[in-house]
Amino acid sequence: MSLVEVIGLPLRSWQRLKRLWRTSVFRLALLFALAFSLVVGVSLAGVYWLSTQYIVGQIDVNLRDELTQLRGDVSDGSGEGEGLVGQIQEQVAQTDKSSRLYLLVDANQHILAGNLLRWPDDLSCGQPAQFSDQSDIVPKKLQAEDSDIRVRALSTRLADGHCLLVGQAMVEEEGFTDHTGYLLSWALGIITLFSLAGGGWMGLAVLRRIDTITHTATQIMAGEFSRRIPDEGKGDEFSDLSARLNQMLDRIDELMAGMRSVTDNIAHDLRSPLTRLRNRLEISLTHERPAEEYRNVMQQTLDDADQLLALFNTLIAIAQAEAGMRREVFTTVDFSTLLIDLVDFYQLAAEDRGVHLSAQIQPGITRLASQGLLTQIVVNLLENALNHIPAGSKVAVTLTQQEKSITLTIADNGPGIPNPADRLRVLERFVRLDAARSSPGSGLGLALVRAAMHEQGGTVELHDNHPGLKVLLTFPRLKVS
């Protein structure tokens, strides 16, 4: 590793940390970690407080039992205090250096017995109390074990006015609570650390996935249109996003390829009529001609111009249909009546070509649609069928309605399109099969049908009719509410 790389490594790490801090996921994870740590800290503090309260409660129970036992060993009355002196001295002698403390004082707080040096300050006889760090109260033999000793004490007033105090030096209890607090503090610190580390890991994982998408987008912007976002196969929201973006890129690539194809096909299809038009005009200018011949040349030129205008109008119609620019003119259309009228209109043309045109139309079918688009779809399909089948053939038109869809079928028994790939290809712009090149047309009819069906929310499918071609149009049922 070079010196420049060694120097740049901390800089890159710092930049990555700055990017990590700017990510929403890391901030949310950090906020969650802090909130989680706060909740855990409050919970652990509650556990610590409950533990100390439980210990103090148990000490109070023991002290209360001992007070009851001491008073029970002597008779009640005016001499109850003097009777306890021997009992307390015996208990003090037995406890020696233990943590149990006793004190018996008279009404003037003169010590009668016990191992406490004096009565604690601010302690009323008959009340529980806790005091600490009073070296003039606790015996030195107990202070040697802990310089900051705390004492929990209970006291009671006797019948003769004396006060009896029984206490517990909380040496072991304090050690337990301190150790518990230490452990809980460590637990809180570890939990907080792992929460922050988890948030950082989540942020880095999300940042890595986003960097992959950003890198791919940068490559596509640089002109590498075949690049796609790699799918890690985790099935999460990033995988779904990558799949949708890749589908969008595929669609854009398909549209761009279609645009290039359209451009090439337009240039090819315009070349012939423009060349004919130019040659015809050039020839007409070579020498003087009769007025009738000039009129014929002008008429042929107008026919070529009309052909070019029709080509451009069809392309505009396809573009408008694909962009959904005609949806605002959707109305309720009586599809059955419209189809009957169109079939009747083409009956004469079919008879002239020697073709039998029949229809089986379910009455009363209506839907929300553009009547102009529906008319254009049916007209294109009928003309396509009549132009590409020989005399003696049959064309059958069928319209049916299902629960959720409307189906229109136009089938013939002509030569058809045997190749499944060709049946898909003829739906593209300017595609004409070899058998159709001798007949007039631009190869836009079926492309316009597909675009119009897309705007209507339907689908178009071409099937082999054995023999012939069957065009299946499926419309979703749409009605005005």
Band of the pLDDT at 4, cuts 50, 70, 90?
Answer: very low
> Facing residues of 471 across strands?
410, 462
How many Å apart are CA 196 and CA 27, to the nearest integer?
10
> Facing residues of 361 across strands?
399
Q: State the CATH class of domain 325-476.
A: alpha beta
How many Å apart are CA 182 and CA 164, to the nearest integer?
36
Q: In what order do the strands lie in the sheet with 129-132?
A: 111-114, 100-105, 163-169, 150-157, 129-132
What pLDDT, in 10s, does the model give residues 97-111? 567 888 888 888 888
Q: Is 359 helix (H, G, I), strand (E, B) or coil?
A: strand
Dihedral class, residue 233 (left if φ above 0, else alpha if ψ from -120 to 50, else beta):
left
Q: Considering only CA atoms, which of 132, 96, 129, 102 is closest in space to residue 114?
A: 102
How many Å apart are CA 142 and CA 115, to the nearest integer?
10
Strands 405-412 and 459-464: unpaired
**Helix, strand, coil tally for the chain in percent (to 5):** 60, 15, 25
What pLDDT, in 10s, does the model give residues 330-370? 788 898 999 999 999 999 889 988 999 999 999 999 888 87
Q: Considering only CA atoms, which of 480, 471, 477 is closest in space to residue 378?
A: 471
pTM confidence score: 0.47
Q: Considering only CA atoms, which of 441, 437, 396 is closest in space to residue 414?
A: 396
> Read out DSSP for 106-173?
-TT--EEEES-SSPPTT--TTS-EEEE--TTTS-HHHHTT-TT-EEEEEEEE-TTS-EEEEEEE-HHH
Highest mean pLDDT: which range of 3-7, 71-75, 154-158: 154-158
- Tell me which architecture the domain covering 237-321 has in CATH: Orthogonal Bundle (1.10)
Section 53-67 average pLDDT: 85
Sequence letter at residue 16: R
Domain boundary assignment for the chain = 1-221, 237-321, 325-476
The pair of structure tokens assigned to 437 is 């090149």
Contact 375, 335 (CB under 8 A): no
> What pLDDT, on a 0 to 100 scale, did the predictor assign at position 147?
55
Residues 6+ apart with CB under 8 A from 262: 315, 429, 430
> What pLDDT, on a 0 to 100 scale, did the predictor assign at position 58?
87
Contact 152, 56 (CB under 8 A): yes
The answer to whether residue 122 scores a pLDDT higher than 80 is no
Residue with tokens 């072991």: 172
Express as a percent the part of the chain with pLDDT over 90: 8
The answer to whether residue 409 scores a pLDDT higher than 90 is yes
The pair of structure tokens assigned to 93 is 């002698």
Q: Higher pLDDT residue, 372 or 352?
A: 352
Query: Comparing 237-321 with 325-476, is the CATH topology the same?
Result: no
> What pLDDT, on a 0 to 100 scale, did the predictor assign at position 329?
66
Contact 103, 89 (CB under 8 A): no
The pair of structure tokens assigned to 40 is 């855990």
Of 112-116, 184-188, 275-279, the one with minimum mean pLDDT is: 275-279
> What pLDDT, on a 0 to 100 scale, did the predictor assign at position 395?
92
Highest mean pLDDT: which range of 23-32, 132-141, 256-265: 23-32
> What pLDDT, on a 0 to 100 scale, did the predictor assign at position 458?
85
The answer to whether residue 59 scores a pLDDT higher than 80 is yes
Highest mean pLDDT: which range of 7-21, 311-325, 382-396: 382-396
Express as a percent the part of the chain with pLDDT over 70: 78
> What pLDDT, on a 0 to 100 scale, did the predictor assign at position 274?
77
Of 186-195, 336-345, 379-388, 430-439, the one with minimum mean pLDDT is: 430-439
